[in-house]
Amino acid sequence: MEKRFVIIIFGGLGDLARSKLYPVLYNLYKRYHLINCSKIIGTGRRPNFGKEEFIQILKDSIKVDDSKFFSLFEFVKINLDKVEEYKNLKEILSRFREEELIFYLATPPFTFESIVINLGDLLKELPNKRKVVIEKPFGYDLESARRLNRIIKEYFKEEEIYRIDHFLGKETVQNIFGLRFSNIIFEGIWNRNFIDHIQISALEDIGVEGRLGYYDKVGALRDMVQNHLIQILALIAMEPPCCISENAIRDEKVKVLKSIKEIKYEEVPLYTVRGQYEGYLADEGLSKSYTETYAGVKFYIENLRWDGVPFYLRTGKKLKKKETSVIIVFKKIPGLFSKLLDCTPQEDMIGFKISPENKIILSFQLRPLGSSILSCPIPTAMEWSSQNIEAYETLFIDIIKGDQTLFIREDEIEKSWEIVQPIIDFWKNDPKIPIYPVGSFGPKEAEDFIKKDGRVWRYLQ
């Protein structure tokens, strides 16, 4: 018999819960993944707020009036900083002595420590098995990430900790793993002998969108590069695991992170570029801010497979288009073969489009239809696409099952902060930040950044 469980959502009235978690839980409920769920408890600190008001939030969130689904829910008022208010939660949880407790921290990052500490006191008197799910950002820098890890490990074992990176739950990201290790034709060329460089991009056409309080303290590097993009890099670059187990896969990802060439403080300008979109200060009512809304970094992985292959990571806001993608650019055809055609064909590419659609695109060169055998080939694409599946659905199912493969381990999180820490330190001491026009592809410096290597930024259709 499968274990029954209770889900407790801290931040149950917040935007993440309303926009993502409740719709996902409803989808899982309709597909019978919550058949063993005894209760879902939402917490919040709003005064004069009760069960009826909470049900209205659920209705607004899932756009459906489903009384049977709503009967799973209960609301508990808690001020997260006050340990005495956790007794309200304890009274409810004491009714579920056999269930596994899943605590989901859908709250601002500055609350994580106090929630974990207060939970630790509460759990001393409860015999239940437990899991804790923590949203990003996990820490603000290397020191804070280490501190948060130390605090959590005082109350939870590593196998009970689920550090979420929702990018890893995306269908196309997981297909990077499948494409490589299920097809010998791709794994055989997945190395420095054939690949010229790799671009990992998360481009947005919107701005901060009401997240100023969070974003201006964080910036593009912390918000996207340190976690999402570096995690994708590790998945692309990892060696085949010894077996299909969560720790074997995460071990290989950590090996990649440990192999990334260190960017020393004085080298930061050589390996990075940043920018801020025009009007950021006015849009957000700021008099001064050096927070980057665009960040680009070039990494090298110092191992046998990837020696000399640059990985370009970039992210930005208020750009010309929205696209999250991975583009594998292969080496140019040798000159001898180009002479046979009296032209130089473009490089072949494999593109993984993660957002706004799920696509895998293989671009190669073919002779134009009806032309001479000696005609210069043109780019031709083969495309696979799939339905979008909400990443949080995949991750919630894994949490329930206890599968940590797509979650970040303690050593992963600390190593990723260690990689970007010199960049954080340098940018903090350098007030010169280029401004780029809204609706552009970023600062001119970003184009120069890749052109100096004889390459250009790529985009998928």
Active site residues: 228
How many Cβ atoms sit within 10 Å of the Cβ of residue 454? 8
For residue 196, the SS3 value is strand
What six digits make up the tokens of 72?
A: 């799973």
Cis peptide bond N-terminal to 368, omega within 30: no
From the list 442, 417, 454, the residue with the least C-alpha distance to 295 is 442
**Cα separation, 293 vs 218, whole angstroms:** 10
Bridge partners, 300 (sequence order): 310
Nearest to 315 by CA among 422, 235, 206: 206
Q: Hey, which residues does 435 pair with through a beta bridge? A: 276
Strand locations in 169-224 (E): 195-203
Question: Per the structure block, which two tokens stand in for 77?
Answer: 């008022």
Buried b (16+ CB within 10 A) or exposed e, 402-432: eebbbbbbbbbbbbbbbbbbbbbebbeeeee
- Residue 461: strand, helix, or coil: coil
Instruction: Report yes or no: 264 and 418 within 8 Å, Cβ to Cβ.
Output: no
Q: Which uninterrupted H or E stretch holds 75?
A: strand 73-77
Residue 67, CB-side half-sphere exposure with 13 Å CA sphere: 0
Query: Which residue in the block uniquely carries the two structure tokens 């999250």?
Result: 324
Can you read off the two tokens belonging to residue 292?
């980057």
d(CA 76, CA 138): 25
Handedness of CA 434, 437, 443, 444 (dihedral sign): negative
Positions of E strands within 346-426 = 349-355, 358-366, 378-386
Residues 6+ apart with CB under 8 A from 431: 290
> Within its chain, how far is the Cα of 457 from the centroid?
21
Q: Are 224 and 320 in contact (CB under 8 A)?
A: no
| Residues whose CB is less than 8 angstroms from the CB of residue 183 and which lie 6 or more positions away in sequence, other chains included | none
Which DSSP symbol is given to 321?
S
